[in-house]
Structure 1
Amino acid sequence: MSNKVTVVCWNLERNGKNDRDLRHRAHERLARHSPHLVLRQEMWGADEDGSAVLYELEHVLGMRGWLGPQSCTAIFADQRVFRTVREWPRTGPMWVLPPTALTMHYLPAGKDALPLAVASFHLNYASGTNRLAETEWLTTWADKQWTAQNGETVRVPALIGGDTNGYPEPGVKGDPALPVLENIQDEPHRAHRSYLGPDGTRHMDTRPDNVLHTAGLRDVARYWATHHDGTPAAVAPTVDAYETHGPDARVDRVYATPELLPAVTDVDVCEVPLEVSDHHIVRLTLDGDHLADILNRSHSAGED
């Protein structure tokens, strides 16, 4: 098996717009990337009829799936590469669209290596206030603990991804510009994507990105674009411009704790036709050997 680990993050609009054939074709599109982890959002209806839709998608992807509360999000994993050792069904009181959160072993690292905290999330669409509170709960994934073989408690690395419904502060080559509030034609959307600052004016909502960064979680796309010759494909828009919603934006993002960043070998955005979904696919690749070394070094460091 290749030592490349591929992670994809995708908000598939209404889980295929209630169209079974479209949903299957969409997941066949995902499968062509040969992912080892899939972080999915908008899993609407996947819990109905005994989670029949979830199991259909497992079959299409050839992966096992875990469905989060209220069928809002999901994680799929190649079980030859990742094994779940714990689920986190209660992830805080503030969620409108609860995340799917797991603790997972990367099997090639060996049984004594540290696991990863993995989460697929979807922040609130309409309320910047709620979105901020949800993000503060997301920071707990940078603080998950694991008991090492010697009984010592060690903090585990984290990898989380999803739809933030907000913006990162532009700062690297290729970053989409922040929308201009007055240029957004849909007035409710102005309220959804901005917040009232202490100066009495409204600002585009970059607060979730700021909170995650403060908690030690790094935007892997920005990391890759910054540290590898300014690769603009890493920070390409994940949603296209709409007359009502404003310009191209990078609202879908994957974050990792810093110790994982040296294992990153590429980040890009795979375009998806609008008839399939209103979001593109974020793809992250990791060097599996380097990832295994990190998880074992982190474990050993916890035993010193």
Structure 2
Amino acid sequence: MDSSQDELVVLSWNIERNGRGRENNDANRQLAHLVMARYRPHILFRQELAGAWENGRRDLHEEANALGGLIPFMPAPKEGRSRKPVGVMVDPTLFQIDAQVEHDLPWKQICHVQVRLRGCPTPIQLASAHLCHFDPQLRATEARRLTDLADHGRTALIGMDANSYPHRTADEVTEPIGWDEMNDPVHYQQRTVERNGARIPDTGPSEILTGGRHIFTDLAHHAGTVLGQRGALAATASLRRTDQGPPQRIDIVLSTPDLAPALRSFEVVVTPEVRRVTDHGLLVARFQLSQFRRCLAGRT
């Protein structure tokens, strides 16, 4: 089999303000489409789909069509909450769609789509999430909501902006933040928590999702520590700002452990084109499709 035919490509990307920027033009959004299209994704997890629900969700469908005719899903924003919803896009030639669920939370909904790989009866829970940027306690609640996708032995795959940090600090390659020198006091309050009388970086969502008894596998961590691809642990944000310390790995792709053996590579793309579009790196996870099928069938 041609290696390209035995590959499942999953992207996750927070495109700042949906690529429109403060100028509200289409140039960066069109560039984002070109960047993603090069990878020929079968699954795309998107964050910050600002304005994509307007005009009959025209922007949403334009992006899905630019990526080869993916089927797009997103929740509409609600009054008094975030105006930058998340979304999921799926290749209908590879997956059949079973259902869409919107998990309503106080700040931003989780977009959850159940699919099945064609020819395989096992359902897969796909979810895009963007955890609350201003409240560590709400981030923990959102992370616990995501654990439900793996309940009763279900298989799940999640792409997200966690707005928090990995808990296995010894394995990370990013430069630590000097919180005492932080020039942004609001960011300091939003990204730290108090433990034992000290302020420390918020690693709560990572601990909930990938710590302890291992509900999910952090695929970048798996690639970096098991597959030997240390570049998978590169910083994902912020690629532009300089007042919030060095860039960190806050964007992640998770799977239930049953899918991890099928992972072949994980990449954080931070090219000049990506930096022009947004302050977040593009995450690219590649699975061996035949192995992915075997994992779903309970065989590795």
Query: TM-score, normalization: structure 1?
Result: 0.88
- What are the residue-to-residue correspondences of 1:10-159 with 2, within 5 Å? 10-16=13-19, 17=21, 18-62=24-68, 63-70=70-77, 72-89=85-102, 91-92=103-104, 94-107=105-118, 110-111=119-120, 113-143=121-151, 155-159=153-157
Partner SS for 1:297:
coil
Partner SS for 2:277:
coil
Tell me the equivalent position of 2:200.
Answer: 203
CA contact (8 A) 1:271 1:281 kept: yes
CA contact (8 A) 2:240 2:279 kept: no
Identity fraction in percent: 28
1:296 maps to 2:297: yes
CA contact (8 A) 1:184 1:243 kept: no
Corresponding letter in the other structure for 1:114: T
CA distance in 1: counterparts of 2:34 and 2:240, whole angstroms: 26
CA contact (8 A) 1:69 1:100 kept: no
1:243 deviation in Å?
2.2
Corresponding letter in the other structure for 2:193: Y
1:279 maps to 2:292: no
Tell me the equivalent position of 1:151.
Answer: none
- What are the residue-to-residue correspondences of 1:205-244 with 2, within 5 Å? 205-213=202-210, 214=212, 216-229=215-228, 231-239=229-237, 240=239, 242-244=241-243
Partner SS for 1:59:
helix
Corresponding letter in the other structure for 2:65: H
Q: Aligned pair count?
A: 281
Q: Assess, with a 3 A threshold, how the Cα gap between structure 1 residues 95 and 82 changes in structure 2: closer, same or farther.
A: farther
CA contact (8 A) 2:75 2:109 kept: yes
1:163 maps to 2:161: yes
Partner SS for 1:58:
helix
CA distance in 2: counterparts of 1:118 and 1:175, whole angstroms: 28
Stretches of structure 1 lacking an aligned partner (at least 5 in a row) = 146-154, 299-304
CA contact (8 A) 2:10 2:284 kept: yes
Corresponding letter in the other structure for 2:280: H
CA distance in 2: counterparts of 1:35 and 1:95, whole angstroms: 31
Q: Assess, with a 3 A threshold, how the Cα gap between structure 1 residues 212 and 30 changes in structure 2: closer, same or farther.
A: same
Tell me the equivalent position of 1:3.
Answer: 6
1:238 deviation in Å?
0.5
CA contact (8 A) 1:172 1:226 kept: no
CA distance in 2: counterparts of 1:65 and 1:84, whole angstroms: 11
CA distance in 2: counterparts of 1:22 and 1:85, whole angstroms: 33
Corresponding letter in the other structure for 1:116: I
CA contact (8 A) 1:175 1:236 kept: yes
Tell me the equivalent position of 1:302.
Answer: none
- Which segment is superposed worse, 172-181 or 247-256? 172-181
Corresponding letter in the other structure for 1:141: L
Partner SS for 2:31:
helix
CA contact (8 A) 2:28 2:276 kept: no
CA distance in 1: counterparts of 2:14 and 2:25, whole angstroms: 15
Partner SS for 1:29:
helix
1:19 deviation in Å?
2.3
CA distance in 2: counterparts of 1:285 and 1:172, whole angstroms: 25
CA distance in 2: counterparts of 1:46 and 1:253, whole angstroms: 23
CA distance in 2: counterparts of 1:224 and 1:48, whole angstroms: 38
CA contact (8 A) 2:223 2:230 kept: no
Partner SS for 2:236:
coil
CA contact (8 A) 1:6 1:283 kept: yes
Query: TM-score, normalization: structure 2?
Result: 0.89
CA distance in 2: counterparts of 1:186 and 1:285, whole angstroms: 36
CA contact (8 A) 1:73 1:121 kept: yes
Partner SS for 2:72:
strand
Corresponding letter in the other structure for 2:49: M
Any runs of at least 4 consecutive aligned residues in structure 1 with deviations exceeding 3 A, and if so which? 170-174
CA distance in 1: counterparts of 2:156 and 2:46, whole angstroms: 17
Corresponding letter in the other structure for 1:99: I
